[in-house]
Structure 1
Amino acid sequence: MKTYKFKTNINCGGCVETVASYLDNSQDILQWEVDTQHEDKVLSVMGKESLEPKDVVDIINLAGFSAKPLKKGILTKLFGS
């Protein structure tokens, strides 16, 4: 299983509901969540080995939002992981 984190512009509950139908319909995404309280509106996605960051970015773009993968160095600074 792979886990990715993205900086997004998904900033409210209504926005989360909008992207939910797109993310929930992907066979490669197993679980996801958006932290709308974080300044970077971080989207965390867990998926199958076949899932690539570009796939998630494409899905989010299709839903009308933007997503940019967070680099591992930034993740360590933000989340201590």
Structure 2
Amino acid sequence: MEELRFKTTLKCGGCEEKITPGMNAINEVEEWDVDLDSADKILTVVVTKNVEDQIIEVVEKVGFEITKID
């Protein structure tokens, strides 16, 4: 398993709810969480294989910005 981290523009639980269906639809995602208390609103995703592009697509599709953190 691999952990991917992204900086996002998610702001609240409602924002998190908007990405939930898309995130849960990616079979390779084992678990995910958004740290809404951090300044960069870090999205951490545990995956079985790298699906970075799919994660970015899910977040951008509902109107938020997302950037991978190396």
Same fold at TM > 0.5: yes
Q: Which amino acid aligns with 2:46?
A: M
Structure-2-length-normalised TM-score: 0.90
> Identity rate of aligned residues, in percent?
26
For this pair of structures, how many residues does the alignment match? 70
TM-score by length of 1: 0.79
Instruction: Kindly state the Cα deviation for residue 54 of structure 1 after the two structures are TM-superposed.
Output: 2.1
Alignment of 1:3-42 (within 5 A): 3-42=3-42
Provide the secondary structure at the position in 2 that maps to 1:40. coil
| Alpha-carbon displacement from aligned partner over 1:41-80 (angstroms, at most 9, x marks no partner) | 000000112x232221112111221110012xxxxxxxxx
Q: CA RMSD in A?
A: 1.1
Q: Which has the greater radius of gyration?
A: 1
Bigger strand share: 2
Name which structure has the greater RCO, CA cutoff 8 Å, separation 6+.
Answer: 2
**Structure 1 residue ranges (4+ consecutive) displaced by more than 6 angstroms after TM superposition:** none
